Chains A and B, each alone.
Chain A
Amino acid sequence: MAKQLPKRDLENVGLGVTGACVALVTLVVAALIFMVAQKGLSAFVKDGVSVVEFFTGTKWDLANTAENGLPYTGALPLIVTSFAVMVLSTLIALPIAIGSAIFAVEISPKFGSKVFQPLIELLTGIPSVVFGLIGFHVVVGLMKSVFHVSTGLGILPGAIVLAVMILPTMTTLSVDGLRAVPDGYRQGSLALGYTRWQTIWHVVLKSAMPSLMTAVILGMTRAFGETLAVRMVIGGIEAMPTSLLSPASTITTTLTTSMAVYAEGSAQDDVLWALGLLLMGMSLIFILIIHLIGRKGAKARG
């Protein structure tokens, strides 16, 4: 055993090390926000892109320039597509996630913790490009044969692929949420003569609501930010989607496909940073919502 430091010094060393970690993380986050904000805002300030045009314009075309010398920067189609994909994938995944969580917690807890949960966790570990590949080769083909469309690319296949991807996040969080409901609630409900179904519906799900909402929001956040898998099946056309099977492009897919094309400091590059800023703002809002739900839930439970 090496010679020990005096206790006070040891305390200080610990304080220093952990404090430095916190300082580092804070610095990284602050620098990140600063850089994205600075670059993103310079699209509006330096290059003179109109903010209104950015949020309401429907023509996105960085390769061509309008009369005012700026590229077409109407991001509304991208925003609409991003939200459509996110909402649709959540709608597909949510019932499955909550349904399987109910089965795994309330109906067959042993199967739930021994078999189902490891299985779901395995799904979390699969890289998104694998989902994209499966989407490109299977889901797109399925769309073609089911709906008789020409390319089979678009919002619907994107949402289906995403639903599979966010399913593990949502299921795991729902399972945790249901498990956290105190057993006394269930016993009390059963003692009052409720059936198992009534107990689950009126008592367990209701008191687990804040955690379920968190599961939904986290799933949505992931869906909103996911890029690679979506990019492979969405079609990549930056235009207002006219149907669920017309090719479109989300904010993230446009970012990744256009980022490498334009020189740094150009108006095109700055507008892409503005898209990044928009994404960051959205995730900030999602996180705020989660915090609000958490606080409300804590209050409701006392």
Chain B
Amino acid sequence: MLDQAYSRRQFLGLAGGLASIVGLGLVGCGGAGASDAADTGSAAVAESVSGEVTYDGASSFQALVEAAAEKFMDANPDVSVSGSGNGSGKGLTAVAAGTVTIGNSDVFAETKLEADQVKNLVDHEVAVVGMGPVVSKNVKVDDLSLEQLKGIFSGQITNWKEVGGDDAKIVVLNRKAGSGTRATFEAAVFGDEAVDFKGDAELDKSGDVQTQMGSTDNAISYLDFSHFDDSKFNAIKVEGVEPKSKNVTDDSFKIWATEHMYCSKDADEATKAFLEFMLSDDVQGKLVEEQGFIPVSAMKVVKDASGKVSAK
């Protein structure tokens, strides 16, 4: 009985092995055929690569990276792309230390890392995101200057009547210190000045800001464009300019950031292929806008590491 069972198992194993080999061969053929078709079609992915791509960093455009990773893995089944959004700082130190292959960041690596660490990294600018101040529904103010925003978010202006609104205390909802949205907002409003004001709350996520803004009166906060929600709060103008993507492209709306994906200079094929895919038309022409971002190609200006804006 035992012997028989053993031989049966052996037979099954052999058959299974054969079947899987045949199956793999077929898949291989199919894959080759598909990529041939792709080559003649849109030339999206040249040849199939394999390997493991890992990323960490900014949570602000993690959704974009995830969506792109899904598509990339559909086209390249032998590649796995995975990662998390632990903040720009973590992403940059992780890619510099080699614990992940891609570091996502809202800010230039130069601002967080030492010069000799930056030297070994390659920057890929994958998208631009606009961010703007939002106020509660009951606030009548619909336009603030950068100077006024500076006053509010440094605690010098504490009443809405000082900026043309009703006589009510301003409730400042901030984001946590590691937030890329906060870093971008403060860079645009404060420049190099250190900010030493915490406000009435420091929230973890953009979603939390949405919820709190929806239920709090006299509040002000800031969000990226994709998190705007007219039913809960109002996005207001800055220096008279509407927070719209087209105003970001020519820098007439001042609060925006470039989303960076850094890899090391000697990155493996899979990582390079994925980053190429991020910059390809599949992502730039479609996914970026679907996710509420602005494609880099649409920008008429560029921002360098020190925050200086110049025409392209």
Contacts and interface: CB of A to CB of B under 8 A. Distances in A.
Interface of A: 61-64, 136-137, 140-141, 144, 150-153, 231-232, 235-239, 247, 249, 257-258, 260-264
A262 B198 contact: no
B235 interface: no
A237 B202 CA distance: 6
Contacts of A247: 200-202
Central interface residue in A260, A262, A264, by most chain B CB within 10 Å: A260
Given A141-B215, A236-B176, A261-B177, A153 B86 contact: no
A261 B87 contact: yes
Contacts of B208: 136, 232
A260 B90 contact: yes
Contacts of B2: none
Contact of A236 (B89, B90, B203): B203
Interface of B: 86-87, 89-90, 93, 112, 169, 171, 173, 176-178, 194-196, 198-204, 208, 211-212, 215-219
A260 B202 contact: no
Central interface residue in B86, B169, B173, B177, by most chain A CB within 10 Å: B177
A150 B177 contact: no
A262 B171 CA distance: 28
Given A64-B194, A257-B178, A153 B90 contact: no
Contacts of B178: 257-258, 260-261
Contacts of B173: 151
A236 B200 contact: no
A188 B215 CA distance: 59
A247 B173 CA distance: 11
Contacts of B215: 140-141, 144
Given A236-B176, A247-B200, A258-B178, 7 more contacts: A151-B201, A232-B208, A237-B198, A239-B198, A257-B177, A260-B90, A264-B93
Nearest to A260: B86
B211 A235 contact: no
Nearest to A72: B196
A62 B86 CA distance: 17
Given A137-B211, A150-B217, A151-B216, A257 B200 contact: no
A257 B216 contact: no
Contact of A61 (B196, B199, B201, B217): B196
A253 to B, nearest CB: 9
A64 B196 contact: yes
B197 to A, nearest CB: 10
B176 A257 contact: yes
27 contacts: A63-B177, A64-B196, A136-B208, A141-B215, A144-B216, A150-B169, A150-B171, A150-B216, A150-B218, A151-B201, A151-B212, A151-B219, A237-B200, A237-B202, A247-B202, A249-B202, A257-B178, A257-B204, A258-B178, A260-B86, A260-B89, A260-B178, A261-B90, A261-B177, A261-B178, A262-B89, A263-B90
A74 to B, nearest CB: 14
B199 A136 contact: no
A268 to B, nearest CB: 10
A237 B219 contact: no
A261 to B, nearest CB: 3
Nearest to B57: A260
A106 B32 CA distance: 76
A238 B176 CA distance: 11
Given A141-B215, A151-B216, A258 B198 contact: no
A237 B176 contact: no
